[in-house]
Chain A
C-alpha cells in the first residue's frame, strides 16, 4: 500500500502562470487535507475535502486558489496567476472516514520566479 503521493515534488513557475499540485491519497482513504508551509513560518491548514465535496476551505486564500477531489483521480490544488508570495511547500494528507490520524505526503515545493 503506497503512501500519500504528491507530484510534482518540485515545481517552478513564472509569475502569472498557473500551478497545479496533485495528491493521490492512500488506498482506501476518502478524505484529503492540504497544508501550506511558507518560508520561516509554520504549517497552515488550507482545505479539507472528501470525494466531490469541499468540507472546510477556511484556510484558503480568497482569490486565485481552488481545490478539488473528484470521484476518480487525485486531488488537485490549483493556484492561478502565481505570485512570488505563493512560493512555499504544499503538503497533502489523507485519512479514512473514521480515522484518527492523517498521513502526509512528501510535499510539493513551489518556487515562483
Chain B
C-alpha cells in the first residue's frame, strides 16, 4: 500500500533563505509525482509535476527532484519570500486510475 510522508510538518524561516521540503513514498512504482501549494481556506495550486522517467523539474525559484529508487522527492525553494507562506503538499500517482496519494503537507512560514 502506497504511503506518502512529508517532513518537516512545519517550517519557519526568515525571508531570503533557501529551503528544502522533503517527501518520501513507500512504493517506487509510480506514474508521476506532483507538488502542490495550498493557502489557508483556498484551493490547490499545482506547482510542479515530475514524470517517473524524469529526475527533476524547475519553475522559477522552485526545483523539484525525484529519486524513485529511494522513494524520495525534494522541493527546493530559492530565496524564499513571505508570499511563499503556505502549505506544500506532495502527491503520488501510482497509475491506478490516476488516484493521487497525498502527504499531510509541510506548513511553511516565511517571516519578513
Contacts and interface: CB of A to CB of B under 8 A. Distances in A.
A103 B102 contact: no
A109 interface: yes
Contacts of A45: 99-101
Given A43-B89, A109-B41, A101 B46 contact: yes
Contacts of A95: 98
Contacts of B78: none
B32 A104 contact: no
B86 to A, nearest CB: 15
A103 B45 CA distance: 9
Q: Contact size class for A?
A: 20 to 34
A33 B89 CA distance: 18
Contacts, number: 53
Contacts of B69: none
Nearest to B41: A109
B7 interface: no
A25 interface: no
Contacts of A107: 42-44
Contact of B98 (A41, A48, A58, A59): A48
A69 interface: no
Interface in A95-113: 95, 100-107, 109
Interface in A34-80: 35, 41-45, 48, 55-56, 58-59
A100 to B, nearest CB: 6
A22 to B, nearest CB: 15
22 contacts: A42-B89, A42-B102, A43-B89, A43-B100, A45-B99, A45-B101, A48-B97, A48-B99, A56-B97, A59-B99, A91-B44, A100-B32, A100-B51, A101-B32, A101-B34, A102-B98, A104-B43, A105-B43, A106-B42, A107-B43, A107-B44, A109-B41
